Each structure stands twice: as C-alpha cells, then as structure tokens.
A and B are shown apart, each in its own frame.
Chain A
Amino acid sequence: MNFQLTSQPIETLIDSLHPHTGGIVTFEGRVRDINEDREVSSLEYVAYPELALHEGHAIIDQALKQFDILKAYAIHRTGHLEIGDIAVWIMSAAIHRQEAFEATEYIINTIKARVPIWKKEHYRDGKTVWVRCDRCAHHHDHNHVVKEKSHGTG
C-alpha cells in the first residue's frame, strides 16, 4: 500500500520523542524473494538471546555516544518470516537529519556484523542454506553456508 489514511494524529503512532527532535530516520529490513540469483520463499531467523540483547543494547548505547542523536531504537525479528515481512526495524531521532541518517546506518551495519543472529534461507526448490555475513574474512564453498551480499536489509 503506497498511501494510508488515519484519523489518529500520526505522532501518537510513534513513540514519544524529545521536543528538540527535528529529524527521524527509520530503516526497515524486509525479506525479499531473491538472493544471489536464487529464488527465496522464506527466511528463518535464530538468535542467541542472552548475547544478542547484550550486544544490541551496547550498539544503541554506542550510537547515542558517537552521534548527536536524542534517541535510537532497534527491533529484530526471530522465527520464520515470509517474503515482505519486516526483519529489522531501526529508528534514530536527532535535532537535525544528518546525524539521524548516520546513526541509523551505523546501527544496522553494526547489528549485521556483531549481533549473534543467523538466518536460514528457504528456496523455492526446497533447499535451505544458512547465510554467511559480509564481514567474514574467509569464504568457504560448502553445502551448509553461502556468502551473503545484503539479504534482508535492502
């Protein structure tokens, strides 16, 4: 849907913000139906919750220190997701937009590099593969793993 009507103030649909907030940048990572020329039918996300929450909080704390932002927030899905579902949602709020853009990019890049979350791609041909991240130094061709370009986050 490209356009939605609501009778509610839009401000009530998002979280309360500091009155200095002038720019909010949100990022959504969606499940798409193709990766590395293979047709994807769904994704399965698995997390190591104790460490993922610790690292996720640390990333948000670091973003709040490193960038001149007022607030930052991130949500990541686990479980089985269908094409088009939101896998990750991130928001940064700042006085001016530039810092919000930079903080949001920092948060998604760091989540992808550091937070212990894995995804298994389910393909239309019935096969499944655990995806490897961009930052991996060594690429091993193997039945169980493939190197990822950017699946799930545009």
Chain B
Amino acid sequence: MMTIHITYFAALRDATGQTEETLRTEVKTANALFHELTTKYHWPFSEADIQVAINDRYQPVEAALKEGDRVVFIPPVAGG
C-alpha cells in the first residue's frame, strides 16, 4: 500500500465532486490508478483520452507510482 495525492481539474473535478484527495492504494502504475478511480467515480473518459502528470510533469500513462507522488489525470485539454 502507498499514499498518493490526487488533484482534479475541469471535467474530472466535476465528475469526482472534489478538488483533491489523498488515498491509500495497492496499484503500482498511473493507469491502474486511473482504472481504480474510474470504477469508483464513473468518469466519462477512457484511458486513451487521458494524460498523466506525476509531481507536476507529464509522464507516460503506464508510469510507476511511488509513495507520496502527486498525481493529476489530465482530461482532453482545450486552451487557446
């Protein structure tokens, strides 16, 4: 088990109903965490829609997680 801090933005913030949370999880990778949370919150995205930031930098969606990481799942961006 490890502790992961998650921050939510935009559509995922709406779908989750909170801006951030800290949770204990047994998953080892970002995409496994995404699937765990999708099951919990019924997010309207597939893994192919999502990018991942760990500790404020883009990382591959299959990146390994470690204790204390700050994770953001990034729904499709729409700047400009």
- Does B65 touch A at the CB level, under 8 Å? no
Pairwise interchain contact B78-A131, C-beta atoms closer than 8 A: yes
A130 interface neighbour in B53, B72, B78, Cβ under 8 Å: B78
- Does B49 touch A at the CB level, under 8 Å? yes
Among A47, A51, A112, A119, chain B packs the most CB atoms within 10 A around the CB of A51
Q: How far is the CB of A136 from chain B (nearest CB, A)?
A: 5
Chain A interface helix/strand/loop/mixed: mixed
Pairwise interchain contact B14-A112, C-beta atoms closer than 8 A: no
- Beyond A120-B10, A144-B44, A145-B11, whether A112 also contacts B49 by CB under 8 A is no
Bound Cα distance A112, B76 (Å): 10
Residues of A participating in the B interface, judged by any CB pair closer than 8 Å: 29, 45-48, 50-52, 54-55, 76, 87-88, 108, 111-120, 130-133, 136-138, 140, 142-145, 148, 152-153
Given A48-B72, A116-B77: 11 more A-B contacts, CB < 8 Å: A51-B58, A76-B79, A111-B79, A112-B77, A114-B77, A118-B9, A118-B77, A119-B79, A152-B79, A152-B80, A153-B80
